[in-house]
Amino acid sequence: MRIYCNQTIFGCLASAVLASALLLISVNDTKITNQIECQKFPTIYYSNDSKTYQNLFERAIKNATRRISIAATSTKLDFGTLGPLLNASHVPPSKIQIFTSNESNVQTLSKKLGFKYTIYNPEIFQAKFRMIVSDDSAYVMSYQPVTAITPFYRILSFEQCTSGSDDILAFINYCINLQQSHNTHIAKIDMQAKTSPIQPINMDNSLFFSFYNPKSRLFPLRIHTQHILEEELSDEPNTLYIYSKTPPYIMMYEAFSSSDFHLYYDIKALLMRNKTKIYYLASVHSGTQTNWYNQLTRHDNFQLRTLDESYFSFDFMVSDNWTYIFSHEIRSLEINEDVSLHFATNNSKILSSSLDFFNKRWKEGKPYSDE
C-alpha cells in the first residue's frame, strides 16, 4: 500500500487548509494532541464463544474510571445486564453516554442513573457498528443484524491505546452530533480523526489507522474508503482474500455516475490484468446476482465459495501483507451511503489471525458453479 496523498496533492492541501480553519474555530473545545499514544498495539479476536464477547463487555465497564461510551446502531443492547454494570461503575454519570437503536428501558435507566443517551434514527443516516470506549481502551465488535444468531464473534481491541480509543470516541461523537443536528460538514476537533494513513499508530514495525465513508460527510478530515480501496487495488497485489456478504455486483437501482465507486469494476479490472489471485468467500449465496458471479468466475484467477448461511458480518480483506477490517458489507452501495469507520493494518499477528479464520471458513464453503 502506498502512502496516501501521493497523487492528490491538491486534495491534501485543501484538507490541511480546512483542518487549520477548523482548529482555529474550535481551539477552545479541546486540547490538540499530535503524538500517537499507545502502550499496546491493537489486536483482533475471532471466537465462537459468546462468553468472550460478554466477558469483554462487562470488563470494559467494570474497569472504567473516567469515561464510558457505548454505541450500537442496529443491535439491541441488553439493558437488564447493562443497568447493574453501569450502576456499579466508578465513572461519573456525566461521563457516560449511550448511542442506541432501541428505546426500551434506556429512558428509565437514564433517569435512574443519570447518564446521557441518544436514540439512533436510521431515517437520518444509515450506520452499522457496535463500539465501546472505556477510559483509554476501546472495542469494536462485528456488526450483527438485530435478528441474527451467530456462532462467531469478531472483536477489534484497543487496550491501553489512547490514540485508538480517542479515534473511536471521536467517531461516536460525530455520529451523535449528526443525529442531533444533521450537520454533515463541519466537525469540532473532538469529532475529527485521530489516526489516518498520514498519521497512523506506529509500534513494533506495524502501522494501524482508520478510514471512513461516505465521503460526503466529514471528508476530507477522514480518508474515504473509496480512495483506500482504489489505491490498494491499483497496486496489483499478488493475492487478495475477501470475506463479505456477497461478491460485488451492481444493483439495478444504484445511481450511475462517474463519481460513484463501483467495487465490481475495480475487481473486474484487476482480474483482467491477470496479476492477482483473488479468493472470495461469500457468506450468502443470492441467486438474483448469478449473472454477476458468472462474470467474475469466468476468470481463472478468481475463486468463489459460498457458505449459504445467515450473514455473520465478518467483512475483511487481506491484500498481501495488509489487512482491511470493515464495519459493513464490502459493497459500493454501503461505501457510498453508510456512515461507517473501518481499519487497516500491516500487523503480522492480525493478518495471521484473519487468514486463519478465512482458511477455516473457506474449507467449509461450497465452490461456486454456474451449472
Give the pLDDT score at 1. 63
191 versus 292: the higher-pLDDT residue is: 191
pLDDT digits (tens, 9 = 90+) for 304-321: 998 876 666 679 999 999
CATH architecture entry for 35-187:
2-Layer Sandwich (3.30)
| Cell, residue 366 | 461450497
- Whose CA is closest to 302, among 241, 345, 366? 241
Phi, psi (degrees; rounded to nearest 5) at 60: -60, -40
Q: What are 83-92's pLDDT values in tens digits?
A: 888 888 899 9
Q: Sorting pLDDT into bands at 50, 70 and 90, what band is 14?
A: very low
More confidently predicted of 236 and 334: 236
Instruction: Read off the pLDDT of each residue in 27-44 and give the average, rounded to a whole number.
Output: 64
Q: What is the per-residue pLDDT across 183-240, written as a single tens digit (0 to 9) for each?
A: 655 667 778 888 988 889 999 899 999 998 876 554 446 788 888 998 999 999 999 9
Question: CA-CA distance, 328 to 215, in Å (whole number)?
Answer: 16
* Contact (CB, 8 A) for 112 and 105: no
The pTM score is: 0.86
